[in-house]
């Protein structure tokens, strides 16, 4: 059997055209690397005096084949390819289009010139996978654009437009026409070689470099890939190129094996997997173009904004004119700020707003393909709204409830079409957060499920499917985590100690800072709907705070006190007295809990609840749990999620440690068999 190389070369009108065809995104695999070296060597032997390197399928090279990162590969590495291109005695022009990312940009920088289609996106996003550019990125980029800007692009995993890249001299020309035709014309005017590697790093203000270093050291929390990238970018100014490349290659290979890189690769594949519909029979697609959002509050308007950004036609429906006017003003104010900050042009903002209709007329519902209810989190209120939706909505429309924990099955009973009812749990702020929990109720049909997964993808969110169960995936596990943290308050920790320990682990915020931010009254109201039995260990600290009117930031007092909106570092004597009184009522002798103890108990509670969810079939895949916690609850990406974290521990010791949680949880604690987290794939 003859294997056809994904890289082909042929002379066209005097230009040697090297075409890379490795669908879907021309990722750099071992066969691509071998093919590129062979094609460049063939070009040198040809009569053509110039070559053009172009990708098929509308993309140049979108990066490396990430599957190869987890294993060693025979044959040439990408740096070998770069050197072959740089050492070629005749010039090569890179014809850039689509995605030019990671190794794709390194290959382009090795060429003698670069011409880009106007829609091209360029970047070196390797730090988002816990690694660094490994084929010259940290050495070539600063030679062309300077150290501070290189730090921004590499450590910030920034993506540049073609015009931005031209401004930085990363591309020589930007065109709107056919890229291959334009590149061929451009190539015929090249008379000699021109290598970025021969350039010197330009001088710049040391203060700008220090600012860039401080910015990413702080944002990256001194993560290894970012720290190493900064070191290597700075080295480009003092080391010969070959010495810098040797250091870069060694660092790349070392980082590729790190636990952080493994965690980020795990998330990369988990994020791709959650976007796919269940592997079942083919279903007829249900087109969604017009969406009605019912409820013009903070959540409803946030949902409307993310719909407008995705170019849906949006109706915002309310029954109260004052509430509708406030919601409309909130949406217009958002787009005004986008224009003021330069994130959108006035034309782009106007285009988004042109798709918005605000109405008090429920008959408008008949125009919607999808209706999203976003009203008060109360079962009776939502059921009443769904009865009304059922009267006015198109018979073929999908009806969705934005609920955090209420039963979608019960809400569906308020309609005559439960097969078309589904849960869409957006996370606040809805136009920012990337997670979308899709609650697949008992009677939801497959066509409805597939349609809303496609809808979530169009919103550029991660659509994680969950079975209808109290709290679904995220809030159920978060509730177990938060409850364990409350136990630790009674056991001897202060809120600031728990928060600090979990922020040190990498969480975006500690649980008590989060509680104050979201409002303690929300959790208090939910707890009142859940009657606890006598055997359940119940911490009433939050109840006491709420009874005193301490609802968090919005009342300037919760677990913490706030002065002029600024949180005080330590809890007040009043809060400490409330906590100590709770310990005394339970007859607990308070003791000091160190940071490691706090982290372990919090993480173990997550892992135990995750295993219970998997056993019950609430989550489809263990990896979905990690996507939920990274994108919805501030779990650090570089730790991979609670399931990935569990898989890095000794399995027997982990099960034993989780069993130890029972002594803190009372008779109501349910011990999970965590083996399902190790057996589930991915």
- Where in the sequence numbering do the catalytic residues fall? 404, 425, 437, 475
| Residue among 11, 108, 97 nearest 50 (CA) | 11
8 Å CB contact between 412 and 443: yes
Tokens of 669: 């604690």
- Quote the CA–CA distance of 428 and 312 in Å, as a whole number: 20
8 Å CB contact between 269 and 623: yes
DSSP 654: H
- Quote the CA–CA distance of 473 and 10 in Å, as a whole number: 54
DSSP 636: -
Q: What is the 3-state secondary structure (H, E, C) of 541-599?
A: HHHHHHHCCCCEHHHCECCCEEECCEECCCCCHHHHHHHHHHHHHCCCCCCCCCHHHHH
Tokens of 222: 């001194």
Measure the N-to-C terminal CA separation of the chain; round to a whole number of Å: 33
- Quote the CA–CA distance of 31 and 6 in Å, as a whole number: 7
Beta-bridge partner residues of 313: 290
C-alpha R_g of the chain: 28
Q: Which residues of 5-24 are buried (b: 16+ CB within 10 A; e: fewer)?
A: bbbbbeeeeebbbbbbbbee
Q: How crowded is residue 200: how many other Cβ atoms within 10 Å of its Cβ?
A: 8
Pairing outcome for strands 313-317 and 356-359: parallel
Beta-bridge partner residues of 18: 9, 53
Alpha helices in 162-258 (DSSP H): 162-167, 179-187, 206-219, 224-235, 241-256
Q: How crowded is residue 672: how many other Cβ atoms within 10 Å of its Cβ?
A: 19
- List phi, psi (to 5°) of 600: -65, -45
Residue 667 has, within 13 A of its CA and on its CB side, a CA count of 5
Beta-bridge partner residues of 52: 17, 93
8 Å CB contact between 93 and 115: yes
**Residues whose CB falls within 8 Å of the CB of residue 100, separated by 6 or more in sequence, listed in order:** 60, 61, 62, 108, 116, 120, 121, 122, 123
| Residue among 648, 660, 650, 533 nearest 608 (CA) | 660
- Quote the CA–CA distance of 513 and 493 in Å, as a whole number: 15
- List phi, psi (to 5°) of 431: -85, 0
8 Å CB contact between 100 and 109: no
- Quote the CA–CA distance of 262 and 270 in Å, as a whole number: 12
Burial of 500 (0-12, 13-18, 19+ CB in 10 A): middle
Q: What number of helices (H) and strands (E) belong to the chain?
A: 29, 19
- Quote the CA–CA distance of 22 and 25 in Å, as a whole number: 7
- Quote the CA–CA distance of 611 and 617 in Å, as a whole number: 10
**Residues whose CB falls within 8 Å of the CB of residue 169, separated by 6 or more in sequence, listed in order:** 144, 145
8 Å CB contact between 465 and 440: yes
* In the block, residue with structure tokens 């032997």: 45
């Amino acid at each position: 059997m003859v294997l056809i190389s994904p890289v082909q070369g042929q002379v066209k009108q005097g230009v040697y055209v090297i075409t890379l065809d490795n669908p879907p995104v021309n990722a750099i695999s071992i066969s691509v690397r071998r093919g590129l070296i062979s094609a460049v060597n063939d070009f040198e032997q040809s009569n053509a005096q110039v070559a053009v390197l172009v990708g098929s399928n509308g993309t140049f090279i979108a990066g490396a084949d990430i599957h190869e990162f987890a294993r060693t590969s025979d044959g040439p590495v990408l740096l070998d390819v770069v050197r072959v291109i740089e050492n070629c005695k005749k010039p090569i022009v890179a014809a850039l289009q689509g995605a030019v990312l990671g190794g794709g940009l390194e290959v382009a920088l090795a060429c003698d010139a670069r011409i880009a289609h106007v829609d091209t996106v360029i970047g070196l996003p390797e730090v988002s996978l816990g690694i660094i550019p490994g084929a010259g990125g940290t050495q070539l980029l600063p030679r062309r654009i300077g150290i501070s800007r290189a730090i921004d692009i590499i450590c910030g995993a920034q993506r540049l437009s073609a015009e931005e890249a031209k401004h930085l001299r990363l591309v020589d020309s930007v065109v709107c026409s056919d890229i291959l035709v334009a590149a061929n014309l451009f190539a015929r005017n090249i008379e000699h070689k021109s290598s970025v590697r021969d350039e010197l790093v330009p001088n710049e203000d040391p203060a700008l470099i220090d600012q860039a270093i401080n910015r990413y050291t702080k944002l990256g929390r001194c993560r290894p890939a970012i720290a190493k990238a900064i070191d290597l970018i700075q080295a480009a100014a003092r080391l010969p190129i070959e010495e810098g490349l040797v250091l870069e290659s060694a660092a790349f290979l070392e980082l590729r094996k790190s636990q952080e890189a493994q965690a980020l690769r795990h998330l990369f594949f988990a994020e791709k997997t959650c976007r796919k519909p269940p592997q079942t029979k083919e279903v007829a697609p249900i087109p969604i173009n017009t969406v009605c959002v019912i409820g013009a509050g903070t959540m409803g308007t946030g949902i409307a904004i993310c719909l407008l950004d995705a170019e849906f036609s949006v109706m915002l429906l309310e029954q109260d004119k004052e509430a509708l006017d406030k919601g409309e003003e909130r949406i217009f104010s958002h787009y005004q700020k986008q224009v003021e900050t330069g994130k959108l042009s006035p034309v782009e903002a106007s285009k988004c707003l042109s798709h918005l209709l605000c109405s008090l007329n429920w008959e408008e519902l008949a125009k919607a393909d999808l209706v999203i209810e976003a009203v008060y989190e109360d079962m009776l209120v939502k059921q009443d709204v769904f009865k009304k939706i059922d009267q006015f909505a198109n018979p073929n429309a999908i009806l969705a409830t934005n609920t955090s924990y209420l039963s979608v099955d019960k809400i569906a009973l308020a309609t005559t079409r439960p097969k078309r009812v589904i849960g869409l749990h957006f996370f606040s702020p809805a136009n920012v957060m990337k997670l979308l929990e899709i609650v697949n109720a008992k009677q939801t049909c497959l066509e409805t499920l597939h349609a809303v997964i496609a809808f979530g993808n169009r919103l550029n969110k991660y659509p994680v499917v969950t079975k209808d169960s109290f709290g679904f995936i995220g809030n159920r596990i978060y509730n177990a985590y938060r409850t364990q943290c409350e136990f630790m308050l009674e056991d001897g920790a202060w809120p600031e100690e728990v928060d600090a320990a979990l922020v040190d682990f990498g969480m975006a915020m500690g649980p008590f800072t989060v509680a104050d931010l979201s409002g303690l009254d929300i959790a208090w109201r939910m707890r009142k709907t859940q009657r606890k039995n006598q055997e359940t260990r119940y911490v009433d600290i939050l109840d006491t705070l709420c009874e005193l009117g301490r609802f968090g930031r919005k009342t300037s007092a919760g677990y913490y006190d706030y002065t002029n909106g600024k949180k005080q570092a330590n809890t007040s004597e009043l809060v400490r007295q409330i906590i100590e009184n709770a310990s005394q009522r339970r007859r607990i002798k308070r003791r000091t809990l160190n940071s490691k103890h706090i982290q372990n108990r919090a993480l173990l509670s997550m892992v135990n609840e995750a295993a219970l969810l998997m056993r019950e079939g609430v989550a489809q895949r263990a990896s979905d749990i990690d996507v939920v916690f990274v994108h919805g609850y501030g779990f650090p990406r570089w730790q991979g999620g609670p399931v990935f974290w569990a898989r890095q521990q000794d399995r027997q010791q982990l099960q034993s440690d989780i069993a130890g949680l029972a002594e803190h949880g009372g008779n109501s604690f349910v011990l999970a068999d965590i083996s399902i987290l190790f057996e589930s794939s991915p």
